[in-house]
Amino acid sequence: MALSGFINLLKPPGMSSHDVVGFVRKVLKEKRVGHAGTLDPAAAGVLPIAVGQAARLIEYLEITDKAYIAEISLGISTDSGDDTGEILERQNFVMPGTSAIETALAKFRGPIKQIPPAHSAIKIDGKKACDLIRQGHDVDIPAREVIIHRLELLSCRKGGFRIEVVCSKGTYIRSLCMDIGEALEIPALMSFLVRLKVGNFTLEDSLTLEEFEAQGADAVLAPEPFLHHLPRYDLRPDRMNAFQNGLATKDRFYKGTEGPLRVYAEGTFLGIGSYSIKDQSVKPHKVVHGAERN
């Protein structure tokens, strides 16, 4: 049976997310490998990896909330928003007190508007913004709304402080760090980042590359437990084959909203579907064969 599932990897600093995918391909001798939620090369932490058919489910991992610890360094700014970029400004400053920092942080809790950094993988007309910059093009990235569910001050040091962030998809921590500096009226950049969590993938359960290499295929986990942020839908057993063959099923009594669903029949996870209010039917989006019962 073909290998399919998720791996909870701990990305080390110094490797790109793409480098980690290449490492997994080499270890498992599997071409179909992808990752959810890019981490910058300098960052470390949880990087969910999808293998085989489960690679088709990556988009549903990327919509989950994420948690980070970040360090903000004050008195300096760069074109990338972190300490790998070219310096734009240096400024002498008086280290703000805890009260001033807490006041600044309070401005960024809840829904906020954020402009992603230009040095990022965000797409502009189908091309990565960072690639366009390297080619000498100017990029104009529009602001987007994200949600900061939790933002706490962890510790202060001379010249900066550490924060813990729980946020929605699409949040750029580099931008958040720069914006917090702006609220303090001091140039700022992100000097450290570790991702603690992506949905149900946690740092505590993640594997180092060495641990993964030792375990090999045994490190590949069934995908369904990591999709529990999606509502569950139980399909009539007589429609199981229809769903697996890409056919919709009428259900005018369903009380949920539109959006992705985990679809089951007789306890077997069939894949991802969605409910159409207009058609009053559940339509398959991504069918997963050979799923385990639950």
Domain presence at residue 293: no
Q: Which residue has the tokens 């829904």?
A: 111
Which residue, of 153, 182, 198, is where some domain finishes?
198
Domain presence at residue 292: no
pLDDT, block means (10 residues), the chain with 294 residues: 90 96 96 93 96 92 94 95 92 96 98 81 56 57 91 97 96 96 97 96 97 97 92 94 94 88 93 92 85 50
User: Looking at residue 93, which CATH number applies to its domain?
Assistant: 3.30.2350.10
Q: Are residues 186 and 205 in the same domain?
A: no
Which residue, of 198, 213, 244, is where some domain finishes?
198
Q: Are residues 93 and 41 in the same domain?
A: no
Domain presence at residue 74: yes
Q: Are residues 191 and 94 in the same domain?
A: yes
Cα 96 from Cα 175, distance rounded (Å): 20
Q: Are residues 80 and 151 in the same domain?
A: yes
Q: Are residues 36 and 115 in the same domain?
A: no
Domain presence at residue 294: no
Q: Which amino acid is at 268?
A: T
Cβ–Cβ < 8 Å for 237, 243: no
Q: Which residue has the tokens 């007589």?
A: 238
Q: Are residues 110 and 137 in the same domain?
A: yes
Domain presence at residue 76: yes
In this structure, what token pair is assigned to residue 278? 């207009």
Q: Are residues 23 and 72 in the same domain?
A: no
Q: Are residues 165 and 153 in the same domain?
A: yes
Q: Residue 160, CB half-sphere, CA atoms under 13 Å: how many?
A: 18
User: Looking at residue 258, which CATH number applies to its domain?
Assistant: 2.30.130.10
pLDDT tens, position by position, 25-53:
999 999 999 999 899 999 999 999 999 99
Strand partners, 264: 234, 269
Q: Are residues 283 and 219 in the same domain?
A: no
Nearest CA-CA partner of 281 in 237, 231, 261, 63: 261
Domain that holds residue 86: 66-198
Domain presence at residue 120: yes
In the chain, the number of structural domains is 3
- Strand order, beta sheet including 268-276: 232-234, 260-265, 268-276, 281-287, 249-250
Per-residue H/E/C for the chain: CCCCEEEEEEECCCCCHHHHHHHHHHHHCCCCEEECCCCCCCCEEEEEEEEHHHHHHHHHHCCCCEEEEEEEEECEEECCCECCCCEEEECCCCCCCHHHHHHHHHCCCEEEEECCCCCCCCEECCEEHHHHHHCCCCCCCCCEEEEEEEEEEEEEECCEEEEEEEECCCCCHHHHHHHHHHHCCCCEEEEEEEEEEECCEECCCCECHHHHHHHHHHHCECCHHHHCCCCEEECCHHHHHHHHCCCCEECCCCCCCCCEEEEEECCEEEEEEEEECCCCEEEEEEECCCCCEC
Domain presence at residue 252: yes
Q: Are residues 140 and 264 in the same domain?
A: no
In this structure, what token pair is assigned to residue 224? 């369904």
Domain presence at residue 78: yes
pLDDT tens, position by position, 92-121:
999 999 999 999 999 999 999 998 876 655
Q: What is the pLDDT of residue 293?
A: 47
Q: Are residues 36 and 155 in the same domain?
A: no
- Catalytic sites, residue numbers: 40
Q: Are residues 104 and 181 in the same domain?
A: yes
Helices 98-106 and 173-183 cross at an angle (nearest 10°) of 120
